[in-house]
Amino acid sequence: MIYLRFVAERCREAHRRKQFKASGKLQTSNKTLTEAPTNMIIQHLTKLRSMDIVLASGSPRRKEILQTAGLSIRIIPSHFEETLDPKSFANPWEYAIATAKGKAEEVAERLKGEGQTPDFVIGADTCVYHEGIIYGKPKDPKDAFDTLSRDKAGCYGIQALGSMLVESIDGDYFNVMGFPIHRFSVNLSKLL
């Protein structure tokens, strides 16, 4: 079982980009993020297509992104109760990672109970972080409206009407859509 925190890392990456923008390069570990990776999942597609890969999400965007990347996946939405308190996390990515992990673990345990052991279970989550506050999943329609009214662009998908609101993107377009396929590809290839 694997849970992937890559969607959560969009917040961390954006924060780092702000800190290092003056230098023109962003360093993580010993690599510059602008360097193209040499090990991507493309070289592993034959192997990956024979693996049982589960997406613990009903998100049509995540499904579309993973399938466009050539992966054959099963969609099994998680029943994980998204009741984690965002205030108990120091950073938005820690909250999103914990939620993604919870989703993946719930699906993996459910499948194990049914006698299934997929090769990978992918859990992902996105949160809103605005002016130092982490916003988790809305509790009800009023909560969703209040959250969206703080961030008007959040109510449009970048692949549709929202595209007219976006002047530029600093990072992965697919991350904005809902799943950072580049980072996922690089990290998954390290596991194979």
Angle, CA 129 vertex, CA 128 and CA 131 arms, to 5°: 140
Angle, CA 60 vertex, CA 90 and CA 94 arms, to 5°: 10
Give the chain's length: 192
Tokens coding 30: 């010993």
Tokens coding 9: 């890392």
Give catalytic status of residue 85 as yes or no.
Answer: no
User: What gap in Å lies between CA 64 and CA 66, rounded to an integer?
Assistant: 6
The closest of 45, 35, 37, 13 to 172, measured between CA atoms, is 13
Provide the 3-class DSSP secondary structure of residue 96. Answer: helix
Catalytic residue among 119, 125, 151, 172: 125
- C-alpha pair distances (Å), 171 with each of 35, 69, 85, 183: 13, 18, 28, 11
| DSSP state string for 62-84 | HHHHHHHTT--EEE---------
Residues with a catalytic annotation lie at 125
